């Protein structure tokens, strides 16, 4: 299989960098902090969790709690996984065969593209920077073939932070419905919209062949639980995914399921805390980028906790990212990480994250690197 460039890069640097300035999750919490939100009954239930195998679909109480985060779904529409990644892998491997065709947007989170490419022919459709990274809807329509089985989308998008407009989403669903295409929607950054009017519905609520992917990792800031799920009204597809999962994780970790249930029961509080942190951090990024108007074009993302600023100075932003990690301990994702096999991707954008506490220290170091080493080269 193709190496997953982002994970290869993270495996090298993520735990070595002093300042992780490109995290894709919100600041996490300890088991202790999460349990401090729990009622005495919830805490007791957690402490008595048997460390046995659990149900392959996911603990029924957890599936019910997840279903309640949708407008129209019930427990039977939810299948749990070990994180979002296992859900993407399972859905692509199960739905796509070599005679099928899939469409994905570019730039993307690499598994959205690489996994379909392992299974069948894939077309890329651009997210257009000049249109606030909206999908090229005309190209999308042209890309559809008689054997197109699946379109994969991810909004708020990694890396651009863009959200498809309500109008384009309606067009996309109409196209899928007309051609009987599955619409796989990676919604892991949902609930992190900076402007809530841009929030789009969860696809499983509004399209009968829609498959929604979500996880405790991003908006809830609990990636260590490794609890994700696929939600769909297509129960036949879910049943096929469950069979595939028998060859992967089989079932979730029991303590993780118990903790995820507690987190979902107290999600209002957790999301409030997380959104407040994002608001604070985005203001820090505004201040930082305003100091270097000749080096960066900074635009707020629509949502998520990552942004994709453009480098506008002299020289190569890939080299700047290398300098930052090697000499200043500051981790950003350089443009090469978002290279696509399907379409050209920008070589002047990099990914920065704003979900973690303490980004000010990383930004101070970033600024120091610019002042000491980079601005003198600008002439």
Ligand X SMILES: Cc1ncc(COP(=O)(O)O)c(C=O)c1O
Question: Are 135 and 172 in contact, with CB atoms under 8 Å apart?
Answer: yes
Number of residues that bind ligand X (CB under 6 A): 13
Nearer to ligand X, 223 or 334 (CB): 223
Residue 28's CB: how many other CB atoms inside 10 A?
Answer: 18
| 107 contributes a contact to ligand X by CB under 6 A | no
- CB-nearest residue to ligand X: 83
CB neighbour list of residue 237: distance below 8 Å, 6 or more residues apart: 91, 94, 95, 182, 211
Among the candidate windows 14-22, 78-86, 195-203, 292-300, which touches ligand X by CB under 6 A?
78-86
| 89 contributes a contact to ligand X by CB under 6 A | no
Round to the nearest angstrom and report the end-to-end CA distance of the chain.
44
| 22 contributes a contact to ligand X by CB under 6 A | no
CB of 306 to ligand X, least distance (A): 8
C-alpha–C-alpha distance, residues 104 and 114, integer Å:
10
Q: Residue 314: exposed, middle, or buried by beta-carbon count in 10 A (0-12, 13-18, 19+)?
A: exposed
189's torsion region: left (phi>0), alpha (psi -120 to 50) or beta? alpha
Rounded to the nearest 5 degrees, what angle is found at the Cα of 134, between the Cα atoms of 8 and 179? 95
- Picking from 330, 254, 319, 306, the residue whose alpha carbon sits closest to that of residue 20 is 330
Nearer to ligand X, 161 or 201 (CB): 161
Among the candidate windows 80-88, 131-139, 246-254, 283-291, which touches ligand X by CB under 6 A?
80-88
Nearer to ligand X, 85 or 165 (CB): 85
| 58 contributes a contact to ligand X by CB under 6 A | no
| 212 contributes a contact to ligand X by CB under 6 A | no
| 160 contributes a contact to ligand X by CB under 6 A | no
Nearer to ligand X, 206 or 305 (CB): 305
C-alpha–C-alpha distance, residues 310 and 114, integer Å:
25
Question: In the stretch 217-236, what mask flags binding to ligand X with x, by CB under 6 A?
Answer: x-----x----x--------
Among the candidate windows 9-17, 81-89, 161-169, 197-205, which touches ligand X by CB under 6 A?
81-89
| 252 contributes a contact to ligand X by CB under 6 A | no
CB neighbour list of residue 129: distance below 8 Å, 6 or more residues apart: 346
Judged by CB under 6 A, which of 59, 100, 113, 186 binds ligand X? Answer: 186
C-alpha–C-alpha distance, residues 158 and 295, integer Å:
23
Q: Name which of residues 272 to 311 contact ligand X (CB under 6 A).
A: none
| 66 contributes a contact to ligand X by CB under 6 A | no
Question: Rounded to 5 degrees, what are φ and ψ at 165?
Answer: -70, 160
- Picking from 81, 36, 22, 85, the residue whose alpha carbon sits closest to that of residue 273 is 36
Nearer to ligand X, 54 or 157 (CB): 157
| 24 contributes a contact to ligand X by CB under 6 A | yes
Judged by CB under 6 A, which of 110, 158, 232, 256 binds ligand X? Answer: 158
CB of 95 to ligand X, least distance (A): 17
Mapping DSSP to helix (H, G, I), strand (E, B) and coil, where does residue 341 land?
Answer: coil
Residues of this chain that interact with ligand X (CB under 6 A) are 24, 83-85, 109, 154, 158, 186, 188, 215, 217, 223, 228
């Amino acid at each position: 299989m193709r190496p997953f460039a982002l994970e290869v890069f993270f495996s090298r640097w993520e735990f070595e960098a002093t300042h992780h300035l490109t995290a894709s999750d919100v600041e996490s919490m300890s088991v202790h902090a999460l349990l401090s939100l729990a009622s005495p009954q919830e805490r007791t239930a957690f402490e008595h969790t048997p460390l046995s195998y659990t149900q392959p679909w996911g603990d029924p109480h957890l599936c019910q709690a997840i279903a309640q985060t949708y407008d129209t779904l019930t427990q039977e529409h939810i299948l749990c996984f070990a994180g979002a990644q296992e859900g993407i892998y399972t859905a692509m491997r199960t739905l796509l065969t070599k005679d099928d065709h899939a469409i994905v947007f570019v730039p993307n989170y690499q598994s959205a593209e690489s996994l379909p490419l392992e299974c069948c022919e894939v077309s890329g459709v651009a997210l257009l920077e000049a249109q606030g990274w909206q999908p090229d809807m005309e190209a999308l329509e042209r890309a559809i073939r008689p054997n197109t089985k699946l379109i994969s989308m991810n909004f708020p998008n990694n890396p651009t932070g863009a959200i498809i407009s309500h109008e384009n989403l309606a067009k996309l669903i109409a196209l899928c419905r007309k051609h009987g295409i599955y619409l796989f929607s990676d919604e892991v950054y949902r609930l992190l919209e900076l402007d809530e009017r841009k929030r789009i519905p969860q696809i499983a609520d509004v399209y009968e062949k829609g498959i929604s992917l979500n996880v405790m990792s991003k908006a809830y800031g609990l990636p260590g639980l490794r609890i994700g799920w696929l939600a769909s009204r297509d129960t036949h597809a879910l049943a096929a995914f469950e069979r595939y999962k028998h060859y992967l994780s089989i079932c979730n970790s029991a303590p993780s399921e118990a903790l995820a249930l507690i987190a979902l029961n107290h999600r209002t509080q957790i999301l409030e805390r997380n959104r407040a942190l994002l608001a604070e951090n985005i203001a820090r990024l505004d201040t930082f980028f305003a100091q270097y108007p000749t080096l960066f074009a900074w635009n707020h993302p629509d949502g998520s906790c990552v942004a994709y600023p453009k480098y506008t100075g002299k020289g190569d932003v890939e080299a700047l990212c290398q300098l930052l990690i090697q000499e200043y301990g500051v981790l950003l994702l350089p443009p090469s990480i978002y290279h696509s096999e399907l379409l050209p991707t920008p070589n002047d954008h990099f990914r920065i994250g704003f979900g973690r506490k303490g980004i000010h220290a990383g930004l101070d170091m970033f600024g120091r690197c610019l002042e000491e080493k980079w601005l003198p080269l600008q002439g």
